[in-house]
Amino acid sequence: MDNGLFGEIYNPDVLSCLANLSNDEVFTPPEVVNNMLDMLPQELFENPDTTFLDPACKTGVFLREIAKRLIKGLEPQIPDLQERIDHIFHKQLYGIAITELTSLLSRRGVYCSKYPNGEFSVTKFESAEGNIRFKRTEHKWKNFKCIYCGAAQGQYDRGDELETHAYEWIHTLKPEEIFNMKFDVIISNPPYQLNVGVEKENYAIPIYNKFVSQAKKLNPRYITMIIPARWYAGGRGLDDFRKEMLEDSSLSIIHDYPDASDIFPGVQIKAGVCYFLWEKDKQGLCSITTHLNGETIGPVDRPLLEDGSDTFIRYNQAIPIIHKVYNPKQKSFSELVSPQTPFGLVTSYKGTSTKLLSSDVKMYISGNEKQFKGGIAFCPINKITKGHEMINWHKVYIPKAGSGSDSFPHTILSKPFYGEPNTVCNQTYLVIGPFKDKITCENVISYIKTKLFRFMVLQKKNSQDAMRGVYEYVPVQDFSKSWTDEELFKKYNLTQDEIDFINSMIKPMGDNNDE
């Protein structure tokens, strides 16, 4: 066997094709794997004692690309190619497959045979799994949920013929006992989420955070993984993980992709993805690089949390703009925004299409129901369980669901509109107010429609919903007048580069709120 043949055997084309498949278990393109490996000290690939683990093997691409670097890096120490390959595959590379199918695929990608004890394997093992293991693992149920991953017993308590999606790596309290050895590098693209819905078919919880946290338990020298970026904002099942990550000074590098299709072609993942490097012996600032619209911005060495803030600022270019616009001593626009369900009326409550009693109150709902023209219904006064003081306000309504676009520029928020006195809304909207009169409300709406307003919202908004907290960085203005971006750019002394960046991120909000 020569280097040329080995290079042909390790052809990335098949895995490049697989990387285009869309799933909660997204396949990783080889070029992305190599970008992640480039973050590691390259002397690791020249050391015959360095050990690597992928705890979520799908195609074996991580182990395969590591093998290629080790084969080159160890040549001076182990000149014979077959001896070198045997050492690398037996002593340095380990994997845990997420399903039986991916175990076969991974072994085929790494050993050139799905049976590494067979004649076609580039290195011979005594066992049929080599160092890429798959052990069917069962969930451990308590109160109809798995204590490890939160899976619903009614959905995943399956027979032997079906995949349980009980991933071995996160279904143990002692991951170090899986291989009974210590690893220098843990690298992976773990499964992202698990559908746990029974009543709600598409209700899913994140599980990638559990793979990261479990890796830290092994105390390796380095961890690098590619994961969804929703953890920046926390939320469903991620609040503790967010705190853990943002307060971890060993998190040394983040490459951020707000548009996931820039790294996974054809795949859309809300809020994008990132890959990171965690270094056990590193303490200090994090090197952050933003990849957006074909441009690479950074790296910029900065703290994960700005002084006095609990928010991770995603975009490097946004930092100087925030410093100019946001003043924590000034009143925040978030103080004018109601909590969700401002009148206690849930989204599913539609009221009636006509006024049945003289005391019924006009109610704004989503405009998707044909029987309710213009999204207007009527609600009995006794159905309103809170927010009574807001009923007679001059106010602004704004949809709690912002723009659903995954690419830039986009509008960030959906179109606001004037809310006259003696009106309410269901959970579709939030209330902004109170204000003196309709003219004041129209001035507020002019401010919301500015790109700068929505750019400042974007810094806190990492999901489709735009609740009160996303308005924290937006300062309150003098609403006796209307506002334009030109006036705001001048007021805050923004540079042309800063204005250009805002324009590249935020789309004008037209009368129809077109995307």
Numbered ranges of CATH 3.90.220 in the chain: 333-505
**Cα–Cα distance measured from residue 344 to residue 386, given in angstroms and rounded to the nearest whole number:** 6
Helix ranges (H only) for 22-124 are 30-38, 61-73, 81-91, 100-111
pLDDT tens by residue, 350-378: 999 899 999 999 999 987 666 566 789 99
> What is this structure's pTM?
0.82
pLDDT tops 80 at residue 5: no
Can you give the pLDDT at residue 251?
96
Can you give the pLDDT at residue 4?
43
pLDDT tens by residue, 376-400: 999 999 999 999 999 999 999 999 9
Give the distance, in angstroms, between the CA of residue 214 and the centroid of all CA atoms in the same chain. 19
Can you give the pLDDT at residue 515?
42
pLDDT tens by residue, 15-69: 554 444 434 567 889 999 999 999 999 999 999 999 999 999 999 999 999 999 9
Phi first, then psi, for residue 226 (nearest 5°) are -110, 125
pLDDT tops 70 at residue 103: yes
| Whole-number Cα distances in Å, 96 to 225, 243, 508, 514 | 15, 28, 48, 46
Taking the CB of residue 404, how many other CB atoms lie within 10 A of it?
A: 11
User: pLDDT band at residue 3, thresholds of 50, 70 and 90?
Assistant: very low
- Tell me the CATH number of domain 333-505, given options 1.10.3470, 3.40.640, 3.90.220, 1.10.287: 3.90.220
Residues of the chain with pLDDT > 70: what percent? 89
Numbered ranges of CATH 3.40.50.150 in the chain: 3-316
Can you give the pLDDT at residue 27?
82
CB 165 within 8 A of CB 32: no
Can you give the pLDDT at residue 8?
42
Phi first, then psi, for residue 290 (nearest 5°) are -105, 130
What superfamily would CATH give domain 3-316? Answer: Vaccinia Virus protein VP39 (3.40.50.150)
pLDDT tops 70 at residue 9: no
Kindly report the average pLDDT of the chain as a whole number.
87
pLDDT tops 80 at residue 227: yes
Q: Which of 289-303, 308-322, 324-338 has the highest mean pLDDT?
A: 324-338
Q: Which of 306, 338, 308, 339 is nearest to 321 (CA)?
A: 306
Can you give the pLDDT at residue 487?
98
